[in-house]
């Protein structure tokens, strides 16, 4: 008597397959070729309803890496932070904790290598706008002595007209000094000196600062106008440094020194004082000039 190959159930005489009805259906379905299963890029098997072709983990990673999706998430977080300060502080504490994790530090060290930073710097230098900003900044540094509105004129004199740099600089400074003199006259200010006149300053009706200013201009063979100008010639810087150190020794603050010399930044006065301290130890004439300037305060006190 025939029996089912799978379960041993008795079969009829007309049964030629060798299976009972349930196992015959299973065997026939098993004989049908099946398509290969769909896999994610990580090897995980996907369901038939999956449309993205990615597992849940990689689908979220790809969506979060999309700039449009990131902008939406940031906007949503900002809206929530604006109405919920407690949530904002919780996220801030969580970010601090993640930043201090050892694996976070190791990841930064692996990423921000010297080669990585060098590539970033090279990429920035290759950008036209960055090169333009760097060139403008370098030009402003090298031509710091020149008024901004006359720098093109200075370049024209040196590059087009082939004037020596020193001669072109003198021409620009003279042009600027004339323009400033015209402006002083237009607003009713007197031009203190048009050119140097070697006259010993008088002590009558002068404050100690005014007397010291006149004296340092006389000893340095310059005018008071040039002493307070933006010119950075060595004799002018030397005279300013001597006056600044004398005022510092008499108890004036750096801000007062800068204001007395028509400057707004106290760091300028600090640089003058530091330069004067350096010169006092190495130049006897400079040290004598500082002592003479410092004596202006005591001279007027004794006269009073």
- pLDDT of the residue at 86: 92
Mean pLDDT for the stretch of residues 11-31: 77
Structure confidence by residue, pLDDT tens digits, 160-200? 888 888 888 888 887 887 777 777 777 766 444 444 444 45
- CATH architecture for segment(s) 208-303: Orthogonal Bundle (1.10)
- pLDDT of the residue at 189: 64
Quote the CA–CA distance of 52 and 40 in Å, as a whole number.
Answer: 9
Domain definitions of the chain by residue range? 148-186, 208-303
CB 143 within 8 A of CB 132: no
Q: Is the pTM of this model over 0.85?
A: no
Question: C-alpha angle 181/186/191, rounded to 5°?
Answer: 35
Tokens representing residue 25 in the block: 């259906």
Structure confidence by residue, pLDDT tens digits, 80-136? 999 999 999 999 999 989 888 888 888 888 877 888 888 888 888 888 898 888 888
Question: Quick one: CA torsion of 16, 17, 20, 24, rounded to 10 degrees?
Answer: -150
Give the contacts of 158 (CB within 8 A, at least 6 positions apart): 164, 165, 168
Residue with tokens 């993205």: 52
């Amino acid at each position: 008597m025939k029996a089912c190959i799978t379960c041993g159930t008795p079969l009829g005489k007309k049964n030629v397959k060798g299976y009972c009805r349930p196992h015959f259906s299973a065997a026939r379905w098993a004989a049908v070729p099946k398509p290969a299963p769909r896999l994610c890029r990580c090897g995980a098997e996907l369901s038939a309803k999956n449309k993205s072709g990615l597992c849940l983990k990689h689908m979220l990673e790809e969506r979060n890496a999309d700039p449009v999706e990131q902008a939406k998430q940031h906007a949503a977080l900002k809206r929530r932070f604006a109405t919920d300060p407690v949530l904002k502080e919780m996220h801030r504490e969580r970010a601090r904790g993640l930043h201090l994790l050892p694996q976070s530090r190791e990841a930064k060290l692996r990423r921000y290598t010297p080669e990585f930073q060098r590539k970033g710097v090279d990429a920035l230098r290759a950008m036209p706008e960055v090169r333009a900003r760097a060139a403008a900044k370098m030009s402003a540094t090298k031509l710091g002595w020149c008024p901004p509105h006359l720098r093109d004129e200075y370049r024209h004199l040196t590059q087009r007209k082939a004037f020596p740099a020193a001669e072109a600089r003198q021409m620009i400074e003279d042009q600027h000094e004339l323009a400033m003199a015209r402006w002083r006259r237009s607003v009713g200010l007197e031009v203190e000196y048009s050119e140097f006149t070697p006259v010993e300053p008088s002590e009558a009706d002068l404050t100690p600062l005014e007397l010291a200013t006149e004296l340092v201009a006389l000893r340095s063979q310059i005018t008071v106008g040039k002493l307070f100008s933006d010119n950075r010639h060595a004799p002018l810087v030397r005279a300013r440094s001597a006056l600044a150190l004398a005022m510092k020794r008499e108890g004036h603050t750096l801000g007062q020194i800068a204001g007395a010399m028509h400057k707004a930044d106290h760091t300028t006065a600090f640089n003058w004082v530091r330069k004067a301290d350096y010169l006092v130890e190495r130049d006897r004439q400079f040290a004598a000039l500082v002592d003479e300037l410092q004596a202006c305060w005591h001279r007027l006190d004794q006269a009073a």
